[in-house]
Amino acid sequence: MLKNKSKIFILFITCVVLLSTVCFATVEPTTTSAEETSATQTAENTAVENTDATNDTSTDTSSDVSTDTTSAWTNSDLYLTGDKVSVSNVVDGNAFIFANEVTIESTAEIGGDLFVCASKLTVNGGYVYSSIFAFANEISINGVVYDVYAACTNFTLESNGFVYRDLKVSADHVAIEGKVRRNAFITANDITFGEYTDTTYIYGNLSYTSPNELSVEEGMIAGEVTRQETSATSSSPVSYITNALSILLITFIVVLLLIWLAPNFVKRVTNMGIAKSFASLGIGIATPIVAILVGLLLILSIVGVTVFSSMFVGLVFLAMLATSITSLFVAGLLAKAFKKTSNVTLVLFTLISSLVLWGLGFIPYIGWFLSIIFVLFGIGTTLVNIVYTKEGTKKEKKVAETSSSEETK
């Protein structure tokens, strides 16, 4: 019993280490200036104005012409879908919205986080007390928000937009015309600022990644401006070596844990036949599709968000390990070809296979496609052999019982 607990503990620690590389870095500002104080007062004044506007109009929703609107006050999380969705009143919780066009009106107040997946998101003077997590083609913010995490084509922080804490955006074009009280982390091909060169737009630091070096007037950024290394550096020999070592380390840890914790699983993966490998690829392709459909249904249900979050984390973790599982399968083929069956040889072949699969991802035009196939195959192989483990154990018991009974006769 103690041995099993030790294995589970080590597996948990390993999962934390592997997943800990996926995070947002937040750097607290170390200085406070008069400009920051002014920006804070601006945000507070905006919040008061929005609150007054909400109190004056909370009983009148006849002007809303969108497909879905909130009631005067929502005392729980809000879930909306449709073609055009607008939120115009108070939401005392998180808001989850999937639509073509999403508008947060000037009278709206969202007490929690705002999660949006849309073609266009417009925050038209509203107030979001926590963070915005948005995936859209076009995002425009003209209200007060605490944090912004956005991935889009075009992002605009309008002149009356105010990000009270940090702005983290990945887009093709980013326009900053409003204020960011703390730090901004921007990845974009093109970054522009408002027309007033004597105005401070970012009161903390700016860290950006772009093929074009940014030129800003003194005072527009209160803190430091740092340009991250571009693709030229990412393709340097040092970067390739670092990535290769990372792949080898992750694969080595995964294979050792599997050999230790799940030797039967390893045996089934390495002994997979052609028919079963095609089935694994098919299941791997179907898994993300099914996960998306089920996830949408869960999000729209009352108690489905927690289940969806757990399922999403599990799928991400499975995708992170998928290439290692694919390498293990290839290693099994090599072990059969060279007639080497020891665990040491299996680990060595798996490491070699992981390097080969990683290198195939750099083939022009088709490398990205091959990398996706390797991940999907690994996901399918894992799921197939987990199910097969349960069924296979029953079959093995039946075969053993049948053979023993025949020997008795």
Q: Could you read off the pLDDT tens digit of each residue along the chain, which spans 409 residues? A: 444 444 444 444 444 444 443 333 333 333 334 444 444 444 444 444 444 443 443 333 333 434 344 446 777 888 887 788 889 889 988 888 878 889 999 888 999 899 888 889 999 988 899 899 888 889 999 999 999 998 888 999 998 999 999 999 988 899 999 999 999 999 888 899 988 877 889 999 999 988 888 888 888 899 899 887 655 444 556 667 878 888 888 899 889 889 988 899 999 999 988 788 888 889 989 988 888 888 777 766 655 666 666 677 778 788 888 999 999 999 999 988 888 888 888 999 999 999 999 999 888 888 889 999 999 999 999 988 887 654 444 544 554 455 455 555 5
| Residue 408, amino acid | T
- Of the chain, the end-to-end C-alpha distance in Å amounts to 38
CA distance 394 to 386: 13
Q: Any long-range contacts for 223-227 (C-beta under 8 Å, 24+ apart)?
A: 223/29, 223/31, 223/183
H-helix or E-strand spanning residue 187 = strand 184-187
Find the length of the chain: 409
Report CA dihedral (341, 259, 328, 239) to the nearest 10 degrees: -120
Q: What is the pLDDT of residue 373?
A: 93
Q: What is the pLDDT of residue 330?
A: 93
| Residue 33, amino acid | S
Q: What is the pLDDT of residue 302?
A: 59
Q: What is the pLDDT of residue 401?
A: 54
Q: What is the pLDDT of residue 301?
A: 67
Place of tokens 């390990």: 321
Which residues, 6+ apart, have CB-to-CB distance to 302 below 8 Å?
A: none
pTM for this entry? 0.47
